[in-house]
Structure 1
Amino acid sequence: MAGRPVIAIAGLACETSTFTPSRTLAPAFHPRRDAAVIEKYAFLHPETPLADAADWRGALIGHALPGGVVTRAAFEELADEITTRLSNIVASTPRLDGLWFDIHGAMCVEELDDVEAELLRRVRAIVGLDVIVSASMDLHGNVSRELAHQTDLITCYRMAPHEDVMETKERACRNLVELIAKQPSAGPRVRPFKAWIPIPILLPGEQTSTRVEPAKHIYAAVPGVEAMEGVIDAAIWVGYAWADEPRNRAIVMATGWDKAVVSTGAEKLAKLFWDSHADFVFVAPTGTYKECLDTALASSARPYFVSDSGDNPTAGGSGDMTWGLTKLLDRPEFKEPSGPTVIYASVPGPKAIDTAVNAGVGATVTVTAGAEVDDIHSGPITMTGRVHSIKHGDRDAVVEVVLQVGSVFAILTKLRKPYHKEHDFTDLNLKPRSADIVIVKIGYLEPELYNMAADWMMALTPGGVDQNLIRLGHHRIRRPMWPFDKNFEKEVNLRTRLISFSHEPLAGPDE
Structure 2
Amino acid sequence: MDLRNLILVLCSIILSVSCKKNEKSVNQLPRVAITGLAIESSTFSPATTSEDAFHAYYGEDVFKYFPFLNEPDDSLRKQAHYFPAVKGHAIPGGIVTKEAYDALMKKTLDSLRENIPYDGLFFDIHGAMSVEGLDDPEGDMIKQIRSVVGYDCVISTCMDLHGNVSEKLAKETDLITCYRLAPHEDAFESKERALVNLLDRLKSGKNKPKYKAWIPVPILLPGEKTSTRIEPGKSLYAQVAPQTKKLGVIDAAIWVGYAWADEPRNHAVVMVTGDDKDEVKASAEMLAQSFWDVRNEFEFVAPTLPFEEAIKTAMKSDKKPFMLSDMGDNPTAGGAGDVTWTLNELLAIEEFKNKDGKSLIYASIPGPKLIKEALKVGVGGKVKAYVGAEVDYRYAPPVLLEGEVTAIKKGDKNAEVEVVVKTGNISVIVTKKRKPYHYEKDFTDLNLNPRDTDVVVVKIGYLVPELYNMRGDWVMALTPGGVDQDLERLPYKRIKRPMFPLDKEIGNPDLSVRWIEKSGSKNNNL
TM-score (norm 1): 0.96
**CA distance 1:430–1:451, change in 2 (3 Å):** same
Deviations 1:453-489 (A, max 9, x none): 0110000111000000110111100001001001124
Report the counterpart of residue 154 of structure 1 in structure 2.
Answer: 176
Q: Secondary structure at the match of 2:91?
A: coil
Asked if 1:294 corresponds to 2:312, the answer is yes
Counterpart Cα distance in 2 of 1:292 and 1:42: 39
Amino acid in structure 1 at the alignment position of 2:82: W
Report the counterpart of residue 128 of structure 2 in structure 1.
Answer: 106
Shift of 1:112: 0.5
Contact 1:303 1:436 in 2 (8 A): yes
Counterpart Cα distance in 1 of 2:316 and 2:208: 63
Contact 2:172 2:520 in 1 (8 A): no
Shift of 1:505: 6.2
Contact 1:146 1:506 in 2 (8 A): no
Deviations 1:263-319 (A, max 9, x none): 101111111100001110000000011111100111121110000000001100000
Q: Secondary structure at the match of 1:278?
A: helix
Shift of 1:227: 1.0
Report the counterpart of residue 54 of structure 1 in structure 2.
Answer: 80
Alignment counterpart, residue 349 of structure 1, candidates 350, 367, 379: 367
Alignment counterpart, residue 36 of structure 1, candidates 51, 61, 72: 61
Alignment counterpart, residue 66 of structure 1, candidates 81, 92, 97: 92
Report the counterpart of residue 141 of structure 2 in structure 1.
Answer: 119
Amino acid in structure 2 at the alignment position of 1:266: A
Report the counterpart of residue 467 of structure 2 in structure 1.
Answer: 449
Most deviating of 234-243 and 358-367: 358-367
Counterpart Cα distance in 2 of 1:121 and 1:337: 61
Counterpart Cα distance in 2 of 1:171 and 1:220: 17
Contact 1:292 1:306 in 2 (8 A): yes
Counterpart Cα distance in 1 of 2:442 and 2:525: 49
Report the counterpart of residue 256 of structure 1 in structure 2.
Answer: 274
**CA distance 1:190–1:471, change in 2 (3 Å):** closer
Deviations 1:76-104 (A, max 9, x none): 000011111111111xxxx4100011100
Counterpart Cα distance in 2 of 1:194 and 1:87: 28
For residues 371-386 of structure 1, the aligned pairs below 5 Å read 371-386=389-404
Counterpart Cα distance in 2 of 1:192 and 1:165: 27
**CA distance 1:506–1:435, change in 2 (3 Å):** farther
Report the counterpart of residue 493 of structure 1 in structure 2.
Answer: 510
| Percent identity of paired positions between Structure 1 and Structure 2 | 53
Deviations 1:98-142 (A, max 9, x none): 001110000000000111010111100001111000000000000
Contact 2:338 2:390 in 1 (8 A): yes
Amino acid in structure 1 at the alignment position of 2:112: L
Amino acid in structure 1 at the alignment position of 2:137: V
**CA distance 1:507–1:99, change in 2 (3 Å):** closer
Shift of 1:146: 1.1
**CA distance 1:506–1:66, change in 2 (3 Å):** farther
Contact 1:183 1:190 in 2 (8 A): no
Counterpart Cα distance in 1 of 2:340 and 2:522: 47
Shift of 1:506: 4.8
Counterpart Cα distance in 2 of 1:18 and 1:502: 30
Report the counterpart of residue 12 of structure 2 in structure 1.
Answer: none
Asked if 1:83 corresponds to 2:109, the answer is yes
Contact 2:175 2:208 in 1 (8 A): no
Report the counterpart of residue 387 of structure 1 in structure 2.
Answer: 405
Contact 1:403 1:410 in 2 (8 A): yes
Shift of 1:39: 2.4
Alignment counterpart, residue 422 of structure 1, candidates 434, 440, 443: 440
Report the counterpart of residue 431 of structure 1 in structure 2.
Answer: 449
Q: Secondary structure at the match of 1:136?
A: strand
Counterpart Cα distance in 2 of 1:446 and 1:190: 36
Deviations 1:213-235 (A, max 9, x none): 11000000111111111111111
Q: Higher Cα Rg: structure 1 or 2? A: 2
Report the counterpart of residue 18 of structure 1 in structure 2.
Answer: 43
Report the counterpart of residue 334 of structure 1 in structure 2.
Answer: 352
Q: Secondary structure at the match of 1:89?
A: coil
Counterpart Cα distance in 2 of 1:258 and 1:497: 15
Shift of 1:49: 1.9
Deviations 1:238-277 (A, max 9, x none): 0000000000000011111101101101111111100001
Report the counterpart of residue 363 of structure 1 in structure 2.
Answer: 381
**CA distance 1:59–1:507, change in 2 (3 Å):** closer
Shift of 1:500: 2.0
Contact 1:286 1:457 in 2 (8 A): yes
Shift of 1:52: 1.1
Counterpart Cα distance in 1 of 2:187 and 2:218: 26
Most deviating of 259-268 and 331-340: 331-340
Report the counterpart of residue 29 of structure 2 in structure 1.
Answer: 4
Amino acid in structure 1 at the alignment position of 2:238: A
Q: Secondary structure at the match of 2:384?
A: strand
Asked if 1:317 corresponds to 2:335, the answer is yes
**CA distance 1:343–1:505, change in 2 (3 Å):** farther
Report the counterpart of residue 167 of structure 1 in structure 2.
Answer: 189
Report the counterpart of residue 165 of structure 2 in structure 1.
Answer: 143
Q: Secondary structure at the match of 1:340?
A: coil
Report the counterpart of residue 22 of structure 2 in structure 1.
Answer: none
Q: Secondary structure at the match of 1:284?
A: coil
Most deviating of 498-507 and 405-414: 498-507
Amino acid in structure 2 at the alignment position of 1:18: T
Shift of 1:504: 4.5
Unmatched runs of 5 consecutive residues or more in structure 2:
1-24
Most deviating of 279-288 and 222-231: 222-231
Report the counterpart of residue 218 of structure 2 in structure 1.
Answer: 200
Q: Superposition RMSD on alpha carbons, in Å? A: 1.2
Q: Secondary structure at the match of 1:391?
A: strand
Counterpart Cα distance in 2 of 1:495 and 1:446: 35
Deviations 1:32-71 (A, max 9, x none): 0110011221212322221111011110011011100000
Amino acid in structure 1 at the alignment position of 2:515: L
Contact 1:339 1:406 in 2 (8 A): no
Amino acid in structure 2 at the alignment position of 1:381: V
Contact 2:370 2:383 in 1 (8 A): no
Counterpart Cα distance in 1 of 2:524 and 2:409: 54
Counterpart Cα distance in 1 of 2:243 and 2:112: 35
Counterpart Cα distance in 2 of 1:505 and 1:405: 65
**CA distance 1:64–1:454, change in 2 (3 Å):** same
**CA distance 1:122–1:333, change in 2 (3 Å):** same
Unmatched runs of 5 consecutive residues or more in structure 1:
none
Counterpart Cα distance in 1 of 2:72 and 2:233: 37
TM-score (norm 2): 0.93
Contact 1:239 1:251 in 2 (8 A): yes
Counterpart Cα distance in 2 of 1:298 and 1:264: 52
